[in-house]
Amino acid sequence: MKEFLNFINGEYVKSASGKTFDNRNPVDNSVIGKVHEAGRPEVDAAVAAARAALEGDWGRMSVVERCKLLDALAIGINDRFDDFLQAEIADTGKPNHLASHVDIPRGAANFQIFIDTIKSVSTESFNMRTPDGKTALSYGVRVPRGVIAVVCPWNLPLLLMTWKVGPALACGNTVVVKPSEETPATATLLGEVMNAVGMPKGVYNVVHGFGPDSAGEFLTRHPGVNGITFTGETRTGEAIMKAAAEGIRPVSMELGGKNAAVVFADCDFQVAVDTVTRSCFENAGQVCLGTERVYVERPIFDRFVAALKGKAEAMTPGLPFDPATKIGPVISKEHQAKVLGYYKKAAEEGATVVTGGGMPDMPAALKDGCWVQPTIWTGLPETASVITEEIFGPCCHIAPFDSEQEVLAKVNKNRYGLATAIFTQDIGRANRMAQGIHVGLAWINSWFLRDLRTSFGGSKQSGIGREGGVHSLEFYTDLRNVMVKF
């Protein structure tokens, strides 16, 4: 039985309370380890260690020295690629082809990309004449914000954690990470790489536990934390913003979505079908950018529904390392019940179930796993629960549309505004739609194609702020103005 310990000041520590909770593998719901739940004493110790590092060796390092360590971290993750892969897959049950092509490589790349950003970013400077005839030079200097709390979800554990730890460290901050209770493994393992590359103690800390009345709440309410960066549900984001209000701490929020794909009749049909298959079903639909509402122009509606049905039915569920596996389980029994609850609701609200709608029939050894069928509905009104609420499962509703204005209005009538994917060969229409849909991220004839130098984040209730490239500096640094008179 594995043990997942907190990582504080460069050391693995149990919780003083002795409290642990189970870490389960969603493919069969078996217990794979015990996680040591951090209480207030461990969170206090982690924040104190992060503060001391800031005021110690780490705080005195030059940008170049910090960047050497970030580079070593990226190399260190890749050197232990297989350990990270096994750990991520055991926690999430995701297929090997996904974890090995997306989660782990991006986990390493997230350290590398911010080296270039931090080394090349500049600030403003102005000269002016003063009333007494002298000169004044004012210039901006970016300083680290301080101790950053990083609160993470379970869907892309290493990728989403390092997406925040990378820029935080590049900018000279120290971090206390609270991974999801569902996926403690890779954040814990990263502590070993931190020590191996010689990262000063206290720069990277990990505390395990839940949200309310546990490590998440203790950390986000902690007065020693200078900023909170969070990825997760919008409702949790609201709770964290309330905690951040105490002491006026800034937040960066990457939250939920109810993303739409819009498929015009003039699209490259195969590209649209293949891409929407990915955006609906990849990672068992547990991608914040994933599509749960598909709008298809009427002339190709029936053909598109039939093609997506074929793709959904070809998504063979199975063990992560079986090359035949196209889809893994969802993260937990609790999440499985939530997704299946929406499947039931869709049927009750009058949906036509094109495919799926329940649990797949799995072999005996996997029967207790958190499996759900890829599911497609048609025929629901725009007010239906599965069209308005985020499900975070492998499912979508497909509706026909007749005009650009009609579909734009439908897509925008939602409280979320994270991402969209538009399929058309008409470049003017593609850009009109991308600029008309209220989202932080718009893909044209593609989906989840990333350039890490660009902004990432959501509009409306999908988030606050942007991270990525130079945009990360807005949150991870404080911009100071210095005025010199001479």
Report the catalytic residues: 254, 288
- Judged by CB under 6 A, the stretch of 91-99, 143-151, 286-294, 363-371 that binds ligand 6OD is 286-294
| Residue nearest ligand NAD, CB atom distance | 211
- Quick one: what does residue 450 bind among ligand NAD, ligand 6OD, none, with the CB cut-off 5 to 8 Å set by partner type? ligand 6OD
| DSSP annotation string for 145-168 | --EEEEE--SSSHHHHHHHHHHHH
Contact flag: residue 288 with ligand 6OD (CB under 6 A) = yes
Contact flag: residue 417 with ligand NAD (CB under 6 A) = no
Measured from the CB atom, is 39 or 256 closer to ligand NAD? Answer: 256
Shortest reach from residue 332's CB to ligand 6OD, in Å: 16
Shortest reach from residue 87's CB to ligand 6OD, in Å: 19
- Judged by CB under 6 A, the stretch of 50-58, 242-250, 282-290, 315-323 that binds ligand 6OD is 282-290
3-state percent breakdown (helix, strand, coil) of the chain, nearest 5: 40, 25, 35
Name the residue type at position 139. Answer: Y
Contact flag: residue 163 with ligand 6OD (CB under 6 A) = yes
Contact flag: residue 150 with ligand NAD (CB under 6 A) = no
- Contact between 369 and 426 under an 8 Å Cβ cutoff? The reply is no
What b/e string do you get for 24-47 counting C-beta neighbours within 10 Å, with b at 16 or more? bbbbbbeebbbbbbbbbebbbbbb
Shortest reach from residue 21's CB to ligand NAD, in Å: 11
21/211 Cα distance (integer angstroms): 14
208: CB partners within 8 A, 6+ apart: 4, 5, 6, 35, 36, 37, 38, 178, 179, 181, 184, 188, 215
Contact flag: residue 475 with ligand 6OD (CB under 6 A) = no
What are the structure tokens assigned to 109, written together?
């790349």
What are the structure tokens assigned to 372, written together?
């759900």
- Quick one: what does residue 163 bind among ligand NAD, ligand 6OD, none, with the CB cut-off 5 to 8 Å set by partner type? ligand 6OD
Q: Which helix (H) or strand (E) holds 485?
A: strand 477-485
- Contact between 175 and 145 under an 8 Å Cβ cutoff? The reply is no
Please count the other Cβ atoms lying within 10 Å of the Cβ belonging to residue 160. Answer: 25
Strands 204-206 and 174-178 turn out to be: parallel
Q: Which helix (H) or strand (E) holds 79?
A: helix 63-79
Contact flag: residue 422 with ligand 6OD (CB under 6 A) = no
Contact flag: residue 233 with ligand NAD (CB under 6 A) = yes
230/216 Cα distance (integer angstroms): 10
Shortest reach from residue 232's CB to ligand NAD, in Å: 3
How is the beta sheet containing 2-4 ordered, strand by strand? Answer: 2-4, 30-36, 20-25
- Quick one: what does residue 380 bind among ligand NAD, ligand 6OD, none, with the CB cut-off 5 to 8 Å set by partner type? none
- Quick one: what does residue 50 bind among ligand 6OD, ligand NAD, none, with the CB cut-off 5 to 8 Å set by partner type? none
22: CB partners within 8 A, 6+ apart: 31, 33, 34, 35
According to CB under 6 A, which residues from 435 to 474 bind ligand 6OD? Answer: 450, 456
Contact flag: residue 468 with ligand NAD (CB under 6 A) = no
- Contact between 38 and 209 under an 8 Å Cβ cutoff? The reply is yes
Shortest reach from residue 50's CB to ligand 6OD, in Å: 23
Shortest reach from residue 229's CB to ligand 6OD, in Å: 11
- Judged by CB under 6 A, the stretch of 156-164, 245-253, 339-347, 354-362 that binds ligand 6OD is 156-164
Contact flag: residue 287 with ligand 6OD (CB under 6 A) = yes
| Closest by CA position to 101, among listed 115, 114, 117, 89 | 89
Shortest reach from residue 249's CB to ligand NAD, in Å: 13
- Quick one: what does residue 251 bind among ligand 6OD, ligand NAD, none, with the CB cut-off 5 to 8 Å set by partner type? none
The pattern of x and - marking residues 306 through 335 that bind ligand NAD according to CB under 6 A reads: ------------------------------
What is residue 184's DSSP assignment?
Answer: -
Per the listing, tokens 């005839």 go with 133
| Residue nearest ligand 6OD, CB atom distance | 288
From candidates 26, 144, 153, 202, binder to ligand NAD by CB under 6 A:
153
To 10 degrees, what angle do helices 157-170 and 81-92 make? 130
Strands 395-401 and 291-297 turn out to be: parallel
According to DSSP, the residues that pair with 296 across neighbouring strands are 263, 400
Contact flag: residue 225 with ligand NAD (CB under 6 A) = no
- Contact between 170 and 118 under an 8 Å Cβ cutoff? The reply is yes
Contact flag: residue 232 with ligand NAD (CB under 6 A) = yes
- Quick one: what does residue 436 bind among ligand NAD, ligand 6OD, none, with the CB cut-off 5 to 8 Å set by partner type? none
Contact flag: residue 168 with ligand 6OD (CB under 6 A) = no
Contact flag: residue 225 with ligand 6OD (CB under 6 A) = no
CA 35 remoteness from chain centre: 22
Contact flag: residue 88 with ligand NAD (CB under 6 A) = no
Contact flag: residue 87 with ligand 6OD (CB under 6 A) = no
Q: In the complex, which residues of this chain contact ligand 6OD (CB under 6 A)?
A: 155-156, 160, 163, 287-289, 450, 456
Q: In the complex, which residues of this chain contact ligand NAD (CB under 6 A)?
A: 151-155, 160, 178, 180-181, 210-212, 216-217, 220, 231-233, 236, 239-240, 254-257, 288, 390, 392, 418, 458, 462-463
